[in-house]
Structure 1
């Protein structure tokens, strides 16, 4: 991951090109960021679980495609919430939040970022995490083949087979309050052009956390 990002910080031209592409094609860039970085997180997670970076049936390419489209969804939700939550906060009497989110770091901007993160992680995140687990299981059930991308997902069967003790007891109850809410508060304190990239980097951490959850579920 460090090697992947290093050129953007070592070359001013490449960094400027990244900013230009990010401004003109935000959702395409989100697809690429999550497709690459979050898949890297899955690969690291596999290493944690099995000691290998790849194995038959894992399906790196299907994971990358799914993560790419999930990344577009995440980017759209981040934009929606970053505009909507400050507006709602102001309707509750917290004046100046929307303007503060566009400026330098202040206590009011921190409050705004925390409110956005709280909203995101108590509404969108549980649905997203569950859908991610469902697609992950579907890819595994199809032997890691690209056919998983075109075959219907047996939602009822997969949902009923999920380890809800781990999903609720670890993924929701522990990672959301103790990792994701603080991490996304930091995300929304960043300038908009860096938020999706930082969120994609957090996807690496997501892969690691979900792998720890999977190991816990086997105990």
Structure 2
């Protein structure tokens, strides 16, 4: 293990502890976090999502970054992802119970907190399944397009804010990888189970846990990319 690996591991642990222990131990910070949930979602995803991409790059290339990686653009993108994910959590966590009751299921008020374990598990799974089937594919595709834009513009902030040639980027996507692995495998076998756990957690920890999952997925995607590149033609 290189010294940089130790630094990266320490950074990930430090960020997670910062967003879990500090709000609980410092009342003023905790009140700020509750009052500015979207801002905190931005920061959680910005730090952990960017770290996840750096870990994935380390696995694939033995480097955490390079001149065209685009550290600041990726930080901004992951922060915006945090805002979108937080919004999606609110929409699906509140909308799914109404959908299930419309189908004839009986749910207690605030079922994710006050329901039995099986009720909470079933509701959490339903929220995760609906969100990952209806929302995740287009969202993942949009994220992929923006990531490709960062790479094609050299990772600079100026290039990041230049117009995005969406049609060209969509034609450049490795659809075999997107459909065959990202959609068909990570959604049913990773994201739906992982977000089922997410919605079983207290609401204050859901976004942080979801952000941390980005690191895990980055490792999975990096390993899959290495395996695909090593496969015989």
TM-score by length of 2: 0.87
The structure-2 alpha-carbon separation of the partners of 1:136 and 1:216, relative to structure 1 and needing over 3 Å to count, comes to: farther
What is the rounded CA distance, in whole Å, between the counterparts of 1:65 and 1:131 in structure 2? 14
Pairing of 1:26-45 with structure 2 (within 5 A): 26-45=37-56
Indicate yes or no: 2:25 matched with 1:9.
no
The structure-2 alpha-carbon separation of the partners of 1:134 and 1:123, relative to structure 1 and needing over 3 Å to count, comes to: same
The structure-2 alpha-carbon separation of the partners of 1:205 and 1:117, relative to structure 1 and needing over 3 Å to count, comes to: same
What is the rounded CA distance, in whole Å, between the counterparts of 2:195 and 2:108 in structure 1? 17
The equivalent position to 1:63 in structure 2, one of 74, 78, 97, is 74
Gaps of 5+ in 2: 1-11
Residue of structure 2 equivalent to 1:161 = 172
The equivalent position to 2:148 in structure 1, one of 131, 137, 147, is 137
Gaps of 5+ in 1: none
Q: Is the 8 A contact 1:57 1:144 kept in 2?
A: yes
Residue of structure 2 equivalent to 1:22 = 33
Residue of structure 2 equivalent to 1:189 = 200
What is the rounded CA distance, in whole Å, between the counterparts of 1:154 and 1:148 in structure 2? 12
The structure-2 alpha-carbon separation of the partners of 1:40 and 1:90, relative to structure 1 and needing over 3 Å to count, comes to: same
TM-score by length of 1: 0.93
Q: Is the 8 A contact 2:15 2:48 kept in 1?
A: no
Q: Is the 8 A contact 2:108 2:114 kept in 1?
A: no
What is the rounded CA distance, in whole Å, between the counterparts of 2:141 and 2:95 in structure 1? 24
What is the rounded CA distance, in whole Å, between the counterparts of 2:207 and 2:182 in structure 1? 22
The alignment of Structure 1 onto Structure 2 pairs a total of residues equal to 218
Moved more, 202-211 or 118-127: 202-211
What is the CA-CA distance between 1:105 and the residue it aligns to? 5.1
What is the CA-CA distance between 1:159 and the residue it aligns to? 0.5
Indicate yes or no: 2:63 matched with 1:79.
no
> What value does the CA root-mean-square deviation take over the aligned residues?
1.8
Where does structure 1 differ by over 4 angstroms across 4 or more consecutive aligned residues?
A: none
What is the CA-CA distance between 1:127 and the residue it aligns to? 1.0
Pairing of 1:146-157 with structure 2 (within 5 A): 146-157=157-168
